[in-house]
Amino acid sequence: MTLPRSEISAGDASVVFDAVSKRFAASGGNAAFTALNNVSLTVARGSITGIIGRSGAGKSTLIRLVNGLEKPSGGKVFVDGVDVGELDEAGLRDLRRSVGMIFQHFNLLSSRTVFGNVALPLEIAGMDRRAIERRVRPLLDLVGLADKHGRYPAELSGGQKQRIGIARALATEPKLLLSDEATSALDPETTQSILELLRRINAELGLTVLLITHEMEVVKAVTSDVAVIDKGEIVERGHTFDVFTHSKHETTRALLSGLAGSKLPEAVGRGLKPAAAIGDRAVVRLTFFGAAAERPLISQLIQSVGAEVNIIAGTIDEIGGKPYGSLVVAYGADAETSGKAERFFSENGLVTEVLGYVA
């Protein structure tokens, strides 16, 4: 089950959002609106935490509160125990130098070489040239672009640009990395390689990563924890595996349904009805993991239901290194069959979701 993570002690927390709200005042033709409403969330130190939501859900605002690029209208944000709202401009600059950030559109300076871009935050911090040199070289090695140090961003591919963005974000040796839709402008393959790099950095440098995305694939691939945000509120949060396998909120399910293997065949999806008529069949999604994944569930299901069971869709996948399966089946919607099936599911600890009914 999804556990509220607020009981994590402050010592383990990299970032704490405490009842944060953000309202934007009306300006020009835009009406006032609430981007974030009473958001509380803890980002555990050393975790890769994802915040997922549709565009306009408030996730960009949320991540910008961490390094003070936006100021909350209410509530507090703590980074390593420091109240961001209490910092003056100089304090904020110090904080920002200890928090790296990468962006959807990379935001590299076109006028600087790869080396110059990675060196920029160090120049800003006032480091001398030789120390900068010593710091930048190993970073370019880390992201695999040492041979490109004299190139300009326009000469690089999107994936290479994001690697430079990552090297730049790591230059000041931060403890926390903020990722603002860092893979949204990249193709799926490049996305995977960038995520792999983030995972390596997290493991090797012990860096906490807070990332926002609208792609479940990203959350599934790298995060240990996830929060789902919708209309400025956190609607679901917990360990990524739990949220994926026990999604409760409709927004989470909608985001999950975009994942490969989760989609119903189109013909079935079209015929789906919300209520059963006599003779209809129930379409049910079963999610199984752990011990349940190793038992011959289908044959047992057919035996205990005593009627035919159709398999409509299915996938076996891995989240955070744990295997889980998702199976969509159909069986008679009459009270007797359904009753038997439900009994079987609860006895075996399967998570079920009735998707609808078909004739």
Partner 1 sequence: MSPDLLLLIAKATLDTLRMVAIAGLVGSLIGLPIGIFLATSGRGELFPAPNLNRAVGLVVNATRSTPFIILVVAIIPLTRLITGTSIGTKAAIVPLTIATIPFFARLVEAAIRDIDKGLIEAARAMGATPMQIVFKVLLAEARPALTLALTMTIVSLIGYSAMVGAVGGGGLGDLGIRYGYQRFMPDVMLVVVVVLIVLVQLVQSAGDRLARRFDKRNRKT
Residues of this chain that interact with partner 1 (CB under 8 A) are: 67, 69, 92-97, 99, 101, 103, 105, 107, 109-112, 120-121, 123-125, 152-157, 168, 172, 178
DSSP string, 119-184: HHHHHHTT--HHHHHHHHHHHHHHTT-GGGTT--GGGS-HHHHHHHHHHHHHTT--SEEEEESTTT
Q: Compare residues 69 and 254 and give the one whose CB is closer to partner 1.
A: 69
Task: Give the max Cα distance, the chain.
Answer: 80
Cβ atoms of residues 238 and 3 within 8 Å:
yes
Structure tokens at 60: 């960009």
- Which H helix or E strand runs over 39? strand 33-44
Q: Compare residues 161 and 239 and give the one whose CB is closer to partner 1.
A: 161
Query: Least CB distance from residue 300 to partner 1, whole Å?
Result: 55
Cβ atoms of residues 188 and 258 within 8 Å:
no
Query: Least CB distance from residue 93 to partner 1, whole Å?
Result: 4
Query: Least CB distance from residue 79 to partner 1, whole Å?
Result: 13
Q: Compare residues 63 and 305 and give the one whose CB is closer to partner 1.
A: 63
Task: Count Cβ atoms within 10 A of the Cβ of residue 223 and give its class: 0-12 exposed, 13-18 middle, 19 or more buried.
Answer: buried
C-alpha torsion 265→267→269→271, nearest 10:
-150
Query: Least CB distance from residue 38 to partner 1, whole Å?
Result: 25
Query: Least CB distance from residue 345 to partner 1, whole Å?
Result: 48
DSSP string, 214-270: S-HHHHHHH-SEEEEEETTEEEEEEEHHHHHHS--SHHHHHHHTTSTTTPPPHHHHH
Query: Least CB distance from residue 60 to partner 1, whole Å?
Result: 11
Q: Compare residues 50 and 153 and give the one whose CB is closer to partner 1.
A: 153
Q: Compare residues 70 and 236 and give the one whose CB is closer to partner 1.
A: 70
Q: Which of 23, 171, 11, 22 is nearest to 78 (CA)?
A: 11
Q: Compare residues 69 and 235 and give the one whose CB is closer to partner 1.
A: 69
Query: Least CB distance from residue 57 to partner 1, whole Å?
Result: 20
Query: Least CB distance from residue 267 to partner 1, whole Å?
Result: 44
Helix (H, G, I), strand (E, B) or coil at 204: helix
Q: What angle do CA 26, 28, 29 make, to 5 degrees?
A: 90
Q: Compare residues 176 and 328 and give the one whose CB is closer to partner 1.
A: 176
Q: Compare residues 94 and 318 and give the one whose CB is closer to partner 1.
A: 94
